[in-house]
């Protein structure tokens, strides 16, 4: 795996980057320029990098995928089946570009929602202080690329003390093959606000493409956010995602992320508890088969005292698939009274399935409670036997137990219709297993 | 919390003194000539010299690893003297002939050797600065066919065994420090338990570093044939020095069918002063190969000393049904750093491994658990249970865990648990309410915390370890 090979993918994208002279805001332009400088200074990670030890993206490095171009012959009925009925507001992005005709915004009085170029005119100052401030790209080539190609961006600003009951649906649809798209989201929860949003990645075709997404979330004091992330890309796609979350005093961040698609998917979630008494709960489920690879790296950084975090990550791995989990919990000096727990549970359904898990603790304060656990195993023979004794066939028993393993995570999704939809997906998938 | 805790933590090193014995020191530096000199001094056969040279060539091509979670100034390998031996004397037949100065050293350590040998029935192979001076109980062991001697002696008396096994578990190019050791190792212990023999006593080597500026490169090789059993103890203390001393030992264990090797270590080398000046760099490669069916390798370690401890006693579970165990207590204080753990490589069917690791950090120290559990595709029905707990005393120290779990076989069951805690105020209050002062309470709580590991130690070692821990942390909680 030489570096010469690596440059292909990056070179190709670097060449296509151009400055737009008619850029209205210099800060945004500077941000992009700074990011492109970082891209050219970096290379694609290889298995020699500790953070990418188990995830080989050398295949991606050889692809010469251009950035996607806007493409708008998609009709509302094409995506009807992707609609989530609870969601009143939805923003739809096609290959990373905002589609106003497919999106529905009805709540604009209570909540600032829309695409970056429009909101820049009215909310320039607030956006300047948040956009690109949480996702550091000096050491992350995918975050740098996303920032360099930043154009459209899903924006939600929840005003002070506003509670938004209905979830917001952010739908990212891939329609072109052999391109790279750059979905981007920024969610700002002002103090005392509350919101639920669904970040949903889908594909309308079974083709190879690259999705490089980046989400930034900032919660002010006592804000609540529930973040549901569904990745159901084509099984030939590459999905490289970063999410950076910053949560302030007394705020609460809850995240459920479900990973079903993509040939290689990588999700880096970075949560910083920047003030006292912040709370976060992070759940993840990867359900993969064939030769898929799903890699989740999370980092929960307790920077101030009295923080609480809970994390549960589950993987169900079949065929020759490979699941990777790396969960780091940092407790900084003086972040006393931190309470943190983490568990990584993995279910292997076939002999050739593979799991690499590394729950990691770095603790620099003494008055803390931190625990982590990891298990890897297969379905319990006794449990299967019990169900068989009740008249279920072995296949049914297996799929029921597998489903139950995943259901624990899915049940944490607060949106009913989405939950039912996912339960159905998991059931179908587990039935297909043997 | 602070006052008593502080004084506990700041307990000076009790074993710091230098014994003056004439030493035969090689010039500083490392090159082929030095290796030839070591080999010639030790009168070694040609094959061993070529083993050393091969390792040296390998070493030259390697770079010092940097991934570990410890920090230290770069070592200049050219300023170390690679050979130092007490002036050659004729071999000793009994304890009475041992240099009285040497005996006094052991007495200062609180473990008078003759008493220890007589009372506990332990055969002590004294390693005093790289060369074996006296070996007791040799005859008794020889009766049942056990070979227990220094490795340089074994090279002459049992060359076929050394040639067959040396470097098979830790190959010469395994890692930077193992390659260095293979090139320049001076002495160590060799132990061979023939087929069907249960070793009648615990075998023990008392390591000591002496002679300022000389790195010690010990090499230990233990072989247990079919149905054999041995329990081996390794204990370390070192005098107080200001310059950092490098210790890069290699330990290899081989267990054949149904064999059982238990390897216990108590390490209390000089850890540097309260400002982190001086202390031993303990970079050790320890690995056991459970080669045969139903074999078992068990590592138990109590790590309290050294400025930097960096080692991963590992088990390669190749034989079907073989068992690997790792029990560890690592205590760090002041500016000590420890990056320790284990690797369990499951290759055979129905192999099982257990990991219990307890880390205690105080002062400005950092301790890390770094472990690997790998279940390879061939390891049908493998099972692992890992538990690593850390305790922090004070808010300047750090505890880290890096458990790598790699499972490539669906029939495996792997469990990992870790927790971090501190000594609670309410626990201390409960003790004080029962009339037990804070210091004793801390010592009791810590002993309770480490109980799972201490239980694995042979009796005398368990006593020593308990004592060690309590004076290591004397006055650290209030």
Which residue in the set B375, B402, B422 is minimally distant from A366, CB to CB? B422
What pLDDT sits at residue A97? 92
Q: How far is A75 from chain B (nearest CA, A)?
A: 45
DSSP string, A250-301: T-EEEEEEEE---SEEEEEEEEEE-STT-EEEEEEEEEE-TT-EEEEEEEEE
What pLDDT sits at residue A23? 59
Which residue in the set A54, A358, A378 is minimally distant from B402, CB to CB? A358
C-alpha span between A239 and B26 (Å, rounded): 60
Q: How far is B167 from chain A (nearest CA, A)?
A: 27
Query: Residue B393: its chain A contacts at CB < 8 A?
Result: 366
* pLDDT (average), residues A251-257: 96
Tell me which of B366, B371, B416, B426 to substitute to probe the interface with A (most A C-beta atoms closer than 10 Å). Answer: B416
What pLDDT sits at residue B112? 45
Query: pLDDT tens, A381-409?
Result: 899 999 999 999 998 999 899 999 999 99
C-beta atoms of A372 and B394 within 8 A: no
**Predicted model pTM:** 0.80
Query: Residue A357: its chain B contacts at CB < 8 A?
Result: 405, 407
What pLDDT sits at residue B129? 42
C-alpha span between A77 and A38 (Å, rounded): 41
Three-state SS letters, chain B: CHHHHHHHHCCCCCCCCCCCCCEEECCECCCHHHHHHHHHHCCCCHHHHHHHHHHHHHHHHCCCCCCCCCCCCCCCHHHCECCEEECCCCCCCCHHHCCHHHHHHHHHCCCCHHHHHHHHCCEEEEEECCEEEEECCHHHHHHCCCEEEEHHHHHHHCHHHHHHHCCCCCCCCCCHHHHHHHHHCCECEEEEECCCCECCCCEEEEEECCCCCECECEEEEEEECCCCEEEEEEEEECCCCCCCEEECCEEEEEECCCCEEEEEEEEECCCCCCCCCCCEEEEEEEEEEECCCCCEEEEEEEECCCCEEEECCEEEECCCCCEEEEEEEEEECCCCEEEECCEEEECCCCCEEEEEEEEEEECCCEEEEEEEEEECCCCCCCEEEEEEEEEEECCCCEEEEEEEEEECCCCCEEEEEEEEECCCHHHHHHHHHCCCCHHHHHHHHHHHHCHHHHCCCCHHHHHHHHHHHHHHCCCCCC
- The complex scores an ipTM of 0.75
Any B CB within 8 A of A316 CB: no
C-beta atoms of A359 and B419 within 8 A: no
User: What torsion, rounded to 10 degrees, do the Cα atoms A410, A413, A415, A416 define?
Assistant: 40
Query: Residue A374: its chain B contacts at CB < 8 A?
Result: 403, 405, 414-417
What pLDDT sits at residue B224? 94
* pLDDT (average), residues A244-254: 95
A433 pLDDT above the threshold of 80 = no
Interface of A with B in 172-191 (CB under 8 A): none
Strand partners, B324: B297, B353
What pLDDT sits at residue B96? 56
Domain ranges of chain B: 2-472
C-alpha span between A115 and A97 (Å, rounded): 9
Query: Residue A359: its chain B contacts at CB < 8 A?
Result: 401, 403, 416, 418
Query: Residue B402: its chain A contacts at CB < 8 A?
Result: 358, 360
Any B CB within 8 A of A7 CB: no
Going by the DSSP 8-state scheme, the letter that residue A104 receives in this structure is B
Token representation of residue A412: 């944490």
Q: How far is B416 from chain A (nearest CA, A)?
A: 5
Mark the ranges of chain B whose per-residue pLDDT is less than 70.
1-24, 84-138, 205-215, 236-244, 460, 471-478
Handedness of CA A35, A38, A42, A47 (dihedral sign): negative
Token representation of residue A218: 């900032």
C-beta atoms of B395 and A366 within 8 A: yes
DSSP three-state, residue A118: helix
Residue linked to tokens 């301790």: B367
Q: Which residue from B minimizes the CA distance to A375?
A: B415
Q: How far is A316 from chain B (nearest CA, A)?
A: 11
Kindly state the percentage of chain A with pLDDT values over 70. 95
What pLDDT sits at residue B77? 82
Closest CA to B258 of B234, B292, B285, B281: B292
A18 pLDDT above the threshold of 80 = no
Q: Return the number of other C-beta atoms located less than 10 Å from residue A315's C-beta.
A: 28
What pLDDT sits at residue B104? 57
C-beta atoms of A370 and B420 within 8 A: yes
C-alpha span between A206 and B213 (Å, rounded): 67
Which residue in the set B392, B409, B416 is minimally distant from A374, CB to CB? B416
Q: Return the number of other C-beta atoms located less than 10 Å from residue B47's C-beta.
A: 13
Bin B452: left if φ > 0, else alpha if -120 < ψ < 50, else beta. Answer: alpha
């Amino acid at each position: 795996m030489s570096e010469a090979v690596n440059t292909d993918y990056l070179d190709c994208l670097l060449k296509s980057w151009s400055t737009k002279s008619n850029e209205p805001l210099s800060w945004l332009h500077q941000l992009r320029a700074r990011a492109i400088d970082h891209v050219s200074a970096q290379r694609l990670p290889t298995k020699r990098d500790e953070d990418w030890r188990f995830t080989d993206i050398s295949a991606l490095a050889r692809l010469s995928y251009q950035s996607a171009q806007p493409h708008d012959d998609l009709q509302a009925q094409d995506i009807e089946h992707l609609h989530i009925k609870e969601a009143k507001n939805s923003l739809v992005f096609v290959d990373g570009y905002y589609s106003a005709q497919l999106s529905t915004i009805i709540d604009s009085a209570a909540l600032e929602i829309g695409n970056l170029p429009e909101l820049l005119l009215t909310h320039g100052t607030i956006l300047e202080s948040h956009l690109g401030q949480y996702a550091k790209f000096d050491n992350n080539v995918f975050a740098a690329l996303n920032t360099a190609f930043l154009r459209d961006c899903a924006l939600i600003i929840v005003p002070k003390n506003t509670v938004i009951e209905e979830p917001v649906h952010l739908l990212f649809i891939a329609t072109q093959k052999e391109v790279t798209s750059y979905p981007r989201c920024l969610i700002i929860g002002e103090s005392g606000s509350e919101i639920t949003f669904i970040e949903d990645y889908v594909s309308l075709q079974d083709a190879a493409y690259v999705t490089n997404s980046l989400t930034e979330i900032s919660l002010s004091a006592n804000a609540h956010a529930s973040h549901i992330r569904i990745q159901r890309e084509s099984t030939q796609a590459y999905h490289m995602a970063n999410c950076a979350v910053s949560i302030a005093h007394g705020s609460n961040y809850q995240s459920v992320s479900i990973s079903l698609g993509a040939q290689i998917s990588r999700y880096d979630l970075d949560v910083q508890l920047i003030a006292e008494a912040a709370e976060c709960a992070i759940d993840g489920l990867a359900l993969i088969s064939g030769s898929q690879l799903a890699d989740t790296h999370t980092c929960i950084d307790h920077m101030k005292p009295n923080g609480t975090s809970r994390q549960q990550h589950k993987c169900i791995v079949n065929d020759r698939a490979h699941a990777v989990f790396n969960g780091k919990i940092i407790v900084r000096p003086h972040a006393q009274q931190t309470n943190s727990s983490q568990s990584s549970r993995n279910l292997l359904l076939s002999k050739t399935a593979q799991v690499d898990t590394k729950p990691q603790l770095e603790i620099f304060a003494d008055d803390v409670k931190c625990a982590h656990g990891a298990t890897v195993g297969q379905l319990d023979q006794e449990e299967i036997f019990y169900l068989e004794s009740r008249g279920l066939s072995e296949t049914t028993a297996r799929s029921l137990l597998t489903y139950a393993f995943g259901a624990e995570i899915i049940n944490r999704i607060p949106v009913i219709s989405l939950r039912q939809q996912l339960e159905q997906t998991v059931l179908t998938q587990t039935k297909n297993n043997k | 919390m602070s006052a008593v805790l502080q004084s506990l933590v700041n307990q000076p090193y009790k074993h710091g003194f230098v014994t003056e014995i004439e030493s035969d020191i090689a010039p500083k530096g490392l090159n082929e000539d030095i290796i030839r000199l070591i080999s010639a001094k030790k009168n070694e056969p040609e094959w061993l010299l070529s083993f050393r040279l091969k390792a040296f060539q390998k070493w030259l091509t390697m770079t010092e690893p940097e991934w570990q979670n410890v920090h230290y100034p770069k070592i200049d390998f050219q300023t170390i003297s690679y050979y130092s031996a007490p002036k050659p004397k004729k071999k000793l037949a009994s304890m009475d002939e041992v240099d009285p100065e040497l005996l006094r050293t052991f007495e200062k350590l609180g473990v008078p050797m003759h008493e220890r040998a007589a009372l506990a029935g332990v055969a002590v192979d004294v390693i005093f600065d790289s060369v074996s001076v006296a070996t007791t109980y040799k005859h008794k062991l020889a009766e049942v066919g056990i070979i227990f001697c220094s490795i340089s002696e074994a090279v002459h008396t049992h060359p076929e065994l050394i040639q067959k096994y040396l470097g098979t578990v830790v190959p010469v190019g395994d890692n930077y420090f193992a390659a260095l050791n293979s090139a320049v190792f001076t002495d160590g212990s060799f132990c061979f338990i023939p087929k069907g023999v249960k070793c009648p006593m615990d075998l023990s080597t008392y390591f000591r570093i002496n002679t300022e500026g000389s790195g010690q490169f010990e090499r230990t090789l233990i072989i247990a044939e079919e149905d054999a059993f041995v329990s081996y103890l390794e204990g370390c203390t070192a005098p107080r020095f200001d310059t950092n001393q490098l210790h890069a030992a290699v330990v290899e264990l081989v267990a054949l069918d149904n064999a059982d090797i238990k390897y216990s270590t108590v390490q209390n080398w000089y850890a540097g002063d309260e400002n982190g000046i001086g202390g031993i760099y303990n970079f050790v490669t320890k690995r056991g190969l459970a080669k045969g069916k139903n074999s078992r390798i068990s590592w138990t370690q109590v790590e309290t000393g050294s400025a930097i401890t960096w080692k991963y006693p590992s088990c390669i579970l190749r034989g079907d049904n073989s068992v690997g165990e790792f029990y560890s207590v690592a205590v760090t204080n002041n500016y000590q750093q420890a990056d320790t753990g284990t690797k369990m490589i499951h290759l055979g069917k129905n192999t099982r491994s257990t990991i219990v690791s307890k880390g205690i950090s105080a002062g400005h120290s950092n301790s890390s658990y770094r472990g690997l559990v790998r279940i390879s595709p061939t390891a049908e029905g493998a099972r692992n249970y890992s538990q690593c707990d850390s305790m922090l005393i004070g808010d300047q120290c750090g505890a880290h865990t890096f458990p790598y779990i790699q499972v490539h076989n669906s029939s495996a069951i792997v469990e990992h648990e870790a927790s971090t805690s501190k000594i609670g105020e309410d626990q201390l209050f409960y003790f004080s309410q029962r009339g037990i002062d804070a210091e004793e309470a801390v010592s009791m709580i810590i002993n309770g915390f480490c109980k799972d590991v201490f239980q694995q130690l042979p009796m005398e070692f368990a006593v020593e370890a308990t004592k060690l821990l309590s004076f290591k942390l004397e006055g650290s909680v209030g």
